[in-house]
Amino acid sequence: MDVFEAMETCRAIRYLRPDPVPDEMVEKLIWAATRAPSPGNSQGWEFVVVRDRALLARLAGTLGERMRAGTAALAEGLEPSQARILKGAVHLTESLAEVPLLVVVCARNIYPPQAPQEIFVWSCAYPAAQNLVLAARALGLGSTFATWQTLAEAEFREILGIPDDVTICATIPVGYPDRPFGPVARKPVAEVMHLDGW
Ligand X SMILES: Cc1cc2nc3c(=O)[nH]c(=O)nc-3n(C[C@H](O)[C@H](O)[C@H](O)COP(=O)(O)O)c2cc1C
Work out whether 99 is an interface residue with ligand X (CB under 6 A): no
Q: Which of 26, 89, 168, 172 binds ligand X (CB under 6 A)?
A: 89
Phi, psi of 53 (to 5 degrees): -60, -40
Tell which one of 56, 148, 156, 175 touches ligand X (CB under 6 A).
Answer: 148
DSSP for 120-147 reads HHHHHHHHHHHHHHHHHHHTT-EE--B-
Site for ligand X (CB under 6 A): which residue of 22, 53, 147, 158?
A: 147
Q: How many Cβ atoms sit within 10 Å of the Cβ of residue 104?
A: 20
Q: Does 144 bind ligand X (CB under 6 A)?
A: yes
d(CA 144, CA 14): 6
What is d(CA 13, CA 174) in angstroms, rounded to the nearest whole number? 9
Comparing CB distances to ligand X, the nearer of 12 and 25 is 12
Q: Of the two residues 29 and 67, which places its CB atom closer to ligand X in the complex? A: 67
* Cα–Cα nearest to 105, from 65, 60, 144, 68: 144
Would you count residue 184 as binding ligand X (CB under 6 A)? yes
In the list 6, 8, 12, 17, the residue contacting ligand X (rule: CB under 6 A) is 12
Q: In terms of CB distance, is 117 or 147 closer to ligand X?
A: 147
Chain residues that interact with ligand X, rule: CB under 6 A: 11-12, 14, 85, 89, 92, 144-148, 184-185
